[in-house]
A and B are shown apart, each in its own frame.
Chain A
Amino acid sequence: MKNRLIDPTILAVAAGAIALSFAYPAMPGWVTFLLQIAIAASLPALGCMILLRAGLLSFGQGFFYFVGAYALALLYQHFGITDAFLGIVVGAVVSAVFAGLLGFFIARYRGIFFAMLTLAITMVAYGIAVKMDLFGRSDGLNVGRLTYLGFSPSREQSGFALFLLCVWIWAVFGVLTHLYLRSRFGKLISAIEDNETRIEYLGWSVKKAVHINYMVAAVLGSAGGALVAASAHYADPSLSYWTTSGEFVFIVLISGQANVLSPLFGSVFLELMRTYATAYFPDEWQLILGGVMLVIILFLPSGLGHLFVLGRRVLLNRQSPSQTGPRS
């Protein structure tokens, strides 16, 4: 509980991003693509995680994933704007505005009502997108080669540039989310599930806190959306389909909520499982997914992150006799 001089989570995020950046040339294309998709999905899942910290289950992170992806795609297709950073910023602003407006309504609800409303919103967006030419109907919109603050990479460089974009956008949002969670406000939102009445009598509006938290989760969702559209080179309405949102919840259930790194582990695990399961058991991969889910819920209810806790406990137990010395 003591403050540490160097925050280990920030250190781990930075070290991870640097290591991945240098490892790029050594990784095969399918691995870098898998990592990019996993990173993209980990951001809306991180949004799910901060909502879950407040006891709120969202089945609507897909909506903001969709907004982020389409902000990039629409700018590219209809305005000829190819800058990745501008696309991410526009997506984040539009998502924050949407969440800001929806939040006035949704922040009053808890439990199943919150979950169902978020699901309804994402499905309305899906329904609109598949019918509108502006969004390319069910085919979606293509996203070509992007530029980065005026830097236009060559065809050979573009893969690396995109990989770096994904890694460092994740790192920046990861660190910002970590700072958010360790702040006074972060502690406040973590206490919402426990006792809303007490928070009100400590001088804070729970509704406003939920509203802000919903907006932060929306921005994380949109950043992930921009990264998936940039990596896959297209955005389609299925990003807003409820099963996409369900996957983000699934990722948090797999990984647990230990810290901001957790959703990335969950997301990479899910993508690896999907890749191998579809390759070896193309017809049964969803069965495998369900089975894994069942095992995790039954044996690791706090998610895969709990393995680290168990591992540390085992190590400490092994070390304890030498650390404590002989007992008299």
Chain B
Amino acid sequence: MTQTMTETPILECRGIAKSFDGFAAANAIDLTISEGEVVGIIGSNGAGKTTLLNIVSGHLKPSSGQVLFAGEDVTGVPSRKLARKGIARSFQVPQLFARSTALENMMLAVSLLARPHESILSRFDNDKLAKAAHEALAHYGIDEHTDAVVGELPQGVRKLLDIAMATAAQPRLVLLDEPTSGVSSEEKHDVMQRLADRFATSGTTVVFIEHDMEIVRRYASRVVALTDGTVIADGAPDVVFADETVAEVIVGEDVTTGGA
């Protein structure tokens, strides 16, 4: 009995399908992810990667299929409720409060996400929140940017801030949509290393979409390859990258386009 409990996967997608005006963006995707895994999702443009992430994070409802989070059916549950249940999500384009500073962004995230039991009409406690926000930014190594307005920050820092805000409440599952897109090649590994360190310490399960195969090889413990909304390969990075179809359809394409 206890063994069954511990073996409950953190995320289970059963036959997830999603169509947009007849175009099948996701086509019966089955995926089971255990707690603590770091899963890289690869696939060419239009393969269904972001659609899958949108469905798991509650941004989209699937046309059919089921999403289970830690054994609970969360199909179609809106993103705000999933955020409170422990699913965090970052975006290709960081979703920040552009007119505020990095610290103010993080303070709002800490206040709204990490303190659900406090009354919403209680005072926005600047002193306490600034301290907690500063600590959260330090976890991602971006605390030197606290007073900068986010619109003026480098893309790598914006990406990290986006993730820091999403993960303000210690989530169990983190979904990252292209965490290094738009980040300069010098910054990419720095961003990924900070994330890897952060999530390894907390044992958080991470699912990330990535086009840079070198990043996937280095940071993922498991790789899922998608094509035309279907899983074509799933396993350890070496195994998936050795797959002929993956090499031809996904890796080859990315290598020829520069691997970014």
A residues sitting closer than 8 Å to B (CB atoms) are: 1-3, 179-180, 182-188, 191, 194-195, 197-205
Residues 146-190 (chain B) with a chain A CB within 8 angstroms? 165-166, 168-169
Asked if B127 and A201 sit within 8 Å, CB to CB, the answer is no
Given the known interface contacts A200-B79, A201-B83, A203-B116, the answer about A191 and B121 at a Cβ–Cβ threshold of 8 Å is: no
A186–B108 Cα distance when bound, in Å, is 11
Does residue B5 face the partner (Cβ distance < 8 Å to A)? no
B93-133 interface code vs A (CB 8 A; 1 in, 0 out):
00111111000000011011101101111111111001000
- Determine whether the beta carbon of B126 is less than 8 Å from that of A201: no
Q: Chain A residues with Cβ under 8 A from B165's Cβ?
A: 198, 202
Closest chain-A Cβ to B161's Cβ sits at a distance in Å of 11
B124–A202 touching, CB < 8 Å:
no
Judge whether A198 and B95 touch: CB under 8 Å: yes
B107 to chain A, nearest CB (A): 8
Inter-chain contacts of A191 with B (CB < 8 A): 97, 100, 108
CB nearest to B93 among chain A residues:
A197
B87 vs chain A, min Cβ distance (A) = 9
Assuming A183-B120, A201-B57, A202-B108, what are 8 further A-B pairs, CB within 8 angstroms? A183-B124, A184-B121, A191-B100, A194-B98, A194-B99, A197-B91, A203-B81, A205-B78
Known A3-B127, A183-B123; contact A194-B97, beta-carbon cutoff 8 A:
yes
* Residues of A contacting B112 in the complex (Cβ-Cβ under 8 angstroms): 184, 188, 199, 202-204
Contact in complex: B124, A203 (CB < 8 Å): no
Interface residues of A, dominant DSSP:
helix
Determine the distance from Cα of A202 to Cα of B109 in the docked complex, in whole angstroms.
6
**Contact: A185 with B121, CB < 8 Å?**
yes
Tell me if A183 and B80 are in contact (CB < 8 A): no
6 nearest A-B residue pairs (beta carbon): A198-B95, A194-B97, A202-B112, A203-B83, A203-B84, A202-B113
State whether A183 touches B121 (Cβ < 8 A).
yes
B95 touching A187 by the CB < 8 A rule? no
Could you give 26 example pairs across A and B, Cβ below 8 Å?
Answer: A3-B123, A3-B125, A3-B126, A3-B127, A179-B123, A182-B123, A182-B124, A183-B124, A184-B112, A184-B115, A184-B120, A191-B108, A198-B165, A200-B78, A201-B57, A201-B79, A201-B83, A202-B112, A202-B165, A202-B168, A203-B80, A203-B81, A203-B84, A203-B112, A203-B169, A204-B80
| Chain A residues within an 8 Å CB radius of B81 | 203
By a CB distance below 8 angstroms, the chain B residues around A179 are 121, 123
A195 touches B95 (CB 8 A): yes
By a CB distance below 8 angstroms, the chain B residues around A194 are 97-100
With A200-B78, A202-B113: A183-B122 Cβ-Cβ less than 8 Å? yes
